[in-house]
Amino acid sequence: MYRTVAVLAAIGVALAGCAGIGDESTTCHDFTGMSQDTRSATIANVLKARNGRNASTSDVAARVATTLDFCGKDANRDKTVGDVS
């Protein structure tokens, strides 16, 4: 499982600008419109940027769920995934 997160993070870093994989400036509106794989890669990028290391699969999954909950509120539509603490 850890290998999967590492691969997603590596792909995210390599393709962040051209494949739709986001970073902490990704808006909630954009995040909720992403596929599950792209959401996971985006969160893996955010966690790696913050922690300086790859996050575990369970950490990424938990953060995706938290971010989806945060972004699901209409008031947060224009906020970013980086706003989720």
53 located within any domain: yes
74 located within any domain: yes
pLDDT means per 10 residues, the chain with 85 residues, are: 58 53 94 96 95 95 96 94 88
Q: In degrees rounded to 5, what are phi and psi of residue 40?
A: -60, -40
- What pLDDT, on the 0 to 100 scale, is given for residue 76? 94
List the one residue out of 50, 28, 49 whose CA is nearest residue 39. 28
Q: What is the residue range of 58's domain?
A: 2-80
- What pLDDT, on the 0 to 100 scale, is given for residue 9? 55
E strands in the chain: none
Q: Tell me if 81 sits within 8 A of 26, measured CB to CB.
A: yes
- pTM for the model: 0.75
Q: Based on the structure, what is the number of domains in the chain?
A: 1
15 located within any domain: yes
Instruction: Indicate left, alpha or beta for 52 from its phi (over 0: left) and psi (-120 to 50: alpha).
Output: left
85 located within any domain: no
